[in-house]
Amino acid sequence: MKYLKDHEKKMKLAFRSLDKNNDGKIDASEIVQSLQILGLTISEKQAELILQSIDADGTMTVDWNEWRDYFLFNPVTDIEEIIRFWKHSTGIDIGDSIAIPDEFTEDEKKSGQWWRQLLAGGVAGAVSRTSTAPLDRLKVMMQVHGSKSMNIFGGFRQMVKEGGIRSLWRGNGTNVIKIAPETAVKFWAYEQYKKLLTEEGQKIGTFERFISGSMAGATAQTFIYPMEVLKTRLAVGKTGQYSGMYDCAKKILKHEGLGAFYKGYVPNLLGIIPYAGIDLAVYELLKSHWLDNFAKDSANPGVMVLLGCGALSSTCGQLASYPLALVRTRMQAQAMVEGAPQLNMVGLFWRIISKEGIPGLYRGITPNFMKVLPAVGISYVVYENMKQTLGVTQK
């Protein structure tokens, strides 16, 4: 009885907040208006579809009785919870660190849930990157030595022959260590940019979110970029060339100077905009398509749909920014390739196109795509388990 009474109170509040003209009924225009206040723009037609799912007597308006009957045994008590289903999850890590950061509600920030979620995401990223590290190293090798014909099995055979099984994980330590500082800087910068772009008390829109996220990504990359260079150098390095991360940093500093730690920084920065933009746009498109065509009884699409949307949108983002990522990696490793001229970004683009054609800009994309599904699956499972361990309340 107590549960039903409490639940009914919450539903009454939600109903009243939607019923703008206080006539005891909710119509399509009121749904459009309410979602607009929350920063979501939907059409009148979409609002009518939402109404239809609740409307029992076919009047195309929803009264209190219909509202109560529909939501009584449904755990969703406020609009934000419905939106939360569709948040682009921090827990999905495909090894690329330029995605837009996660959005946290005020409740999550006050209760400390946010840092637990970020920590769970960090651990998930570490496990996922370590599990797919051999494919990542192969991708880097193919990007750097693109002109030589190297296929997947040949590449693995070559790496094992040169340095044994352990060499497949070369550079992974750096890749994992940089998760923590990068997540922290990105999350902090994202909050600051959001404040700059939105007025007090205003909800953030998709465009502002994209700009804030891209700028936060750029800020985080600026901080940790030397680690990106170290990761590439260690991955491309021969057995015994570097004893570890510190030794690699010392040698680069001694032979090439401080500037070497920011080689390839410009294409890396330019790659953030197409990656983040396309990732966000494709995710929104898939979300709208699912809600329009498949959402029958609930706004919750289930794990498989969410993971599928996340993986597909990230893959499209990668595809768009891949040539820039390849040029970045080549620039980071140029000094290690014997006899290679030290070219700038534009020079390198023309050199690759003239020698290898357009396919040359996509060298190593096969192992890159091969690691998307296992990386998404592993990071999701670890993320969910870590959330339980850290006591993140399930919504």
204 vs 209: CA distance, rounded Å:
6
Dist. CA 113–CA 101, nearest whole Å: 15
Q: How far apart are CA 128 and CA 69, in angstroms?
A: 43
C-alpha 270/C-alpha 169 separation (Å) is 28
Domains, the chain: 1-90 (1.10.238.10)
Fill in the amino acid letter for 329: T
pLDDT digits (tens, 9 = 90+) for 173-211: 999 999 889 888 988 898 898 888 887 666 677 778 788
Using pLDDT thresholds of 50, 70 and 90, give the confidence band for residue 79: low
Mean confidence (pLDDT) of the chain: 83
Note the pLDDT tens digit of each residue in 335-372: 877 666 778 899 999 999 998 889 889 999 999 989 98
pLDDT for the residue numbered 298: 65
H or E segment to which residue 169 belongs: none
Lowest mean pLDDT among 146-160, 165-179, 291-305: 291-305
